[in-house]
Amino acid sequence: GYAMGMIQAPMLAAASGNDVDFMVHGLIPLNFFGHKVWITTTHVTTLIVMIFIMVLALIARRSIMKDYEKPSGLANAVEMVVEMLDKLVKSTMGKHWKPFANYIGSIMFFIFIANTSGLFGLRAPTADYGTTLSLALITFVMIQYSAFKTRKFRMFTDLFQPIPVLFPVNVIGEFATPVSLSLRLFGNIMAGTIMLSLWYGLLPIFAKLGLPAFLHVYFDLFSGAIQTFVFAMLTMTFIADKRNA
């Protein structure tokens, strides 16, 4: 479905002139070693998401520090969320979960807020492959670092198992991890962005009132939450499997 959407979307956009806007715009040109590069919509929305997360973190910290002995409702909510995240990471990764809890919590917060930013009129940063690939590469580095920390050079010799001739296949399998992680997240979020853009760009004005709210709930909120959970679970599973192999 996603592949067909990617094929059909440019055709529909071409047929409708400038009515369909996928909200990918070059905003500020920069000269980088003789080449023109652009600050795009994705950079701006990513910055907005990061600032929003930092503001939430500062508010949560202030609430916890202020009401340390008698926690307020906000402090209790923050504590409950942290405990739920810790429980999820511990149940998935086993006894070596604690060093990874902060990372898993951070990417879950970032991806969830980025995925759901469409509810506030922004273009989701995760609808840009550059964002999802960067997240997947960070996870890939953490997977390999964790494997090397526990297995040392056995992680390289295992690439020749069960028989040496499978070395190229095993190497491709390793690098397939960040590709699959990034494409899964990008494909699902971009598909929702395309569907909503086509809805707003191609349908008459009366069809844009009311009903798009339900589409935003599904594509931005529901699908965004599912993809956040999937990315985090795969990250924890890959790290735990490499660490314990």
Residues 112-143: pLDDT tens digits? 999 998 888 888 899 999 999 999 999 999 98
Q: Is the pLDDT of residue 190 over 70?
A: yes
Rounded distance between C-alpha atoms, residue 245 and residue 242, angstroms: 5
Say what the pLDDT of residue 14 is. Answer: 41
User: Which of the four pLDDT bands, split at 50, 70 and 90, describes residue 6?
Assistant: very low
Say which residue, 3 or 98, is predicted with more confidence: 98
Say which DSSP state 20 is in.
Answer: -
Say what the pLDDT of residue 77 is. Answer: 86
Coil/strand/helix, residue 122: coil
Summary mean pLDDT of the chain: 81
Mean pLDDT of 79-92: 91
Amino acid at 134: S
Mean pLDDT of 148-164: 79
User: What is the chain's Cα-based Rg?
Assistant: 21
Rounded distance between C-alpha atoms, residue 48 and residue 125, angstroms: 10
Say what the pLDDT of residue 90 is. Answer: 92
8 Å CB contact between 85 and 108? yes
Say what the pLDDT of residue 68 is. Answer: 65
Amino acid at 2: Y
Q: Is the pLDDT of residue 2 over 70?
A: no
Rounded distance between C-alpha atoms, residue 64 and residue 59, angstroms: 9
Residues 11-26: pLDDT tens digits? 344 444 455 555 677 7
Q: Is the pLDDT of residue 78 over 50?
A: yes
